[in-house]
Amino acid sequence: MQKMDILGVTLTDYSLKESLLLTDSFLENSALNTILYVTTPMLILAGKDEYEKERIESMDMTLCGESDILRVAKIESKSRLYEVENLVFFKEFLRRIVRGGKKVYLLSDSEADAEKLRSELKDFQRGIVISGVQVIRESTEKVEEVVNDINDIAPDVIISRMAWGRQEQWMVDAKPYINAEVWLGISKDMKLGKRRESFQKKAMNRIYRKMFHDRMNRYNEENEKNQ
């Protein structure tokens, strides 16, 4: 594993083997462990928002959702870049869920996104058991109501995909009260599967990548001056 300082956010880059071993331990212990895919827009937000920084750093494991994060951290191993770009951990995670007979509960922030997430998961891994789905619309659901519904179904794994910022807050707020083994958070700006992205989404991703690299360059220059 390797520590990374990205815009002031401390992240740990785990090898594929390390991340899967850690996940196996999460699936065997009695506590709920959180795993979060981190993307460049999330890190841009965390670089100027101390609360978002704290939320990201509080996760039990973070994963790079984009290879650009590795590149700015000077991690240029071809195998690691391949693993991130091809979602190798995610695929292995889903295989473990199916092999272990785990039940999965989905959280999203719209009906359309929930159905899309369900479809993509089934495309990635045959035999995955979705035991429940809940849509968390902005500022309408209380944590207690969401937790009660999850605990009534008693899933083993929660997979959520919501807007960055809101998702991390939900993971932090609900974690102490949920009876499950692993909560995997996927940012909405992460691409899953082979579906084509819209022109607008591609343009926004390019803007965020440029912004991310520009801010990281300034951050590194300021650190060098202060040393």
Helices 16-28 and 88-99, interaxial angle, to 10°? 30
pLDDT higher than 60, residue 195: no
* Residue 52 domain boundaries: 2-226
pLDDT at 22: 96
3 state SS of 139: coil
pLDDT band at 93 (very low <50, low <70, confident <90, very high): very high
Q: Which residue has the higher pLDDT, 35 or 193?
A: 35
pLDDT higher than 90, residue 139: no
- Nearest Cα neighbor of 210 from 64, 76, 85, 44 is 44
Q: What is the DSSP letter of 197?
A: P
pLDDT higher than 80, residue 65: yes
Q: Which residue has the higher pLDDT, 100 or 209?
A: 100
Please spell the DSSP secondary structure of 111-137, one letter per residue: HHHHHHHHHHHHHH-TT-EEEEEEE--
pLDDT at 74: 87
Domains held by the chain: number? 1
What is the arithmetic mean of pLDDT over 162-175? 93
- In the numeric block, which tokens belong to residue 170? 């939900």
Label residue 3 exposed, middle or buried (CB < 10 Å: 0-12, 13-18, 19+): exposed
pLDDT, tens digit (0-9, with 9 covering 90-100), for 97-127: 999 999 999 999 999 999 999 999 999 999 9
CB 125 within 8 A of CB 97: yes
pLDDT, tens digit (0-9, with 9 covering 90-100), for 29-53: 889 999 999 999 999 999 999 999 9
pLDDT higher than 70, residue 128: yes
User: Rounded to a whole number, what is the distance in angstroms from the first to the last CA of the chain?
Assistant: 25
Distance between CA 37 and CA 124 in Å, rounded?
A: 17
CB 47 within 8 A of CB 9: yes
pLDDT at 201: 65
